[in-house]
Amino acid sequence: MAAGGSPDAALNFGDGAVLPYSPAKVKAAPRGRTSSWSSLLLLLLGRTRKLAKVRLLLAAGVLLVLVLLASQVGPLMGWNHQPSLSASSPSRDGYMVLINTWRRNSLLKKAVAHYASCPKTDAIHVVWSENDPPPESLKTYLRNIIMSRSRNSHKPKLQFDLNEEDNLNNRFKPINGLTNDAIFSVDDDLLVPCSTLEFAFTVWQTTPDTMVGFVPRMHWLDEQKNGVVYYKYGGWWSVWWTGTYSMVLSKAAFFHQKYLDMYTYKMPSTIHDYVTRERNCEDIAMSLLVANVTQAPPIWVKGDVANA
């Protein structure tokens, strides 16, 4: 370029070729070099992204293979996961109160009124084993008392479970259409404060296959004769004196609804016959049934349990 950069200057490339000076070409030359670098950079970024995608796909494939191998190796190594027996049940947000009664309508009214006021009560079932069905006046009274005592927008549903014969095994007959896993079984003459009941329900929720109750008892080995093992049964004073217990009674206890089916259909008929004949011990039978299934002891919750 000639000194001074006059318009008449020319570009000399040193090989004898001389081109006229063009300011537009001079300004465009740097932009061309920048554009080349930008294109190269974009090309490199594109290739880097493609490599990253390939590596991600390879990593996902390796992870899938490892998962499949683990699923096959696990059973061979004894890593068999057993889901909870209660996993397929509908809900554990509330409980159904199952009241056993016999010709004590005044006590039944007190029990229904009390348990209807507990916030987690979802339904109330009354085991009715009298010859005559419950009078309509009693049903109406109980429904009205539930509506007035319940503090929830969803009022507990009342149902009478009618039985044709007076038999304590009726207490644990299966019930269709339950919407909750938890059953609180209680006699009509026992009232558990709502706060205490809520605490016991919370305990049960942590171990829903176990029996959680308020009335502890114990039994211990007595003797063995002719291959038959005999046990002694101890009441509350035995529990108090020894500081131990081995069962809780269903007269005030939580248990899973599945045990109703097990009691009715899977327990030996000789036990059903004994309960029918002696008119007793159905609560002991249920406690031992749950312990036999879970291979675990029940849980006693200490609380104020009052007579109605």
Q: Residues 57-106: pLDDT tens digits?
A: 565 554 444 434 434 433 333 323 333 444 344 455 899 999 999 889 99
Helix ranges (DSSP H) in 169-252: 194-206, 236-242
pLDDT band at 181 (very low <50, low <70, confident <90, very high): very high
Between the alpha carbon of residue 64 and those of residues 50, 67, 90, the distances in Å are 21, 5, 33
Average pLDDT (173-200) is: 95
Average pLDDT (165-193) is: 94
* DSSP state string for 243-269: S--SEE-TTEEEEETHHHHIIIIIS-H
Which amino acid, residue 10? A
Q: Where are the domains of the chain?
A: 30-79, 95-307
Task: Answer whether residue 46 shows pLDDT above 80.
Answer: no
Retrieve residue 153's tokens.
């927008």
pLDDT band at 277 (very low <50, low <70, confident <90, very high): very high
Q: Are 182 and 93 in contact (CB under 8 A)?
A: no
Q: Are 83 and 280 in contact (CB under 8 A)?
A: no
Per-residue pLDDT at 68: 44
Per-residue pLDDT at 1: 47
Q: Among 181, 187, 188, 283, which one carries the catalytic annotation?
A: 283
Asked about 166 being catalytic, the answer comes back as no
Short-list 72, 85, 257, CA closest to 183: 257
pLDDT band at 222 (very low <50, low <70, confident <90, very high): confident
Lowest mean pLDDT among 58-72, 196-210, 243-257: 58-72
Per-residue pLDDT at 112: 97
CA 202 – CA 189 distance, rounded (Å): 23
End-to-end CA distance of the chain: 116
Percentage of residues of the chain with pLDDT beyond 70: 70
Residues 6+ apart with CB under 8 A from 108: 99, 101, 126, 138, 142, 188
Per-residue pLDDT at 24: 45
> What CATH number does the domain located at 95-307 have?
3.90.550.10
How are beta strands 212-213 and 252-256 bridged, if at all?
antiparallel
pLDDT band at 21 (very low <50, low <70, confident <90, very high): very low
The 8-class DSSP code of residue 281 comes to -
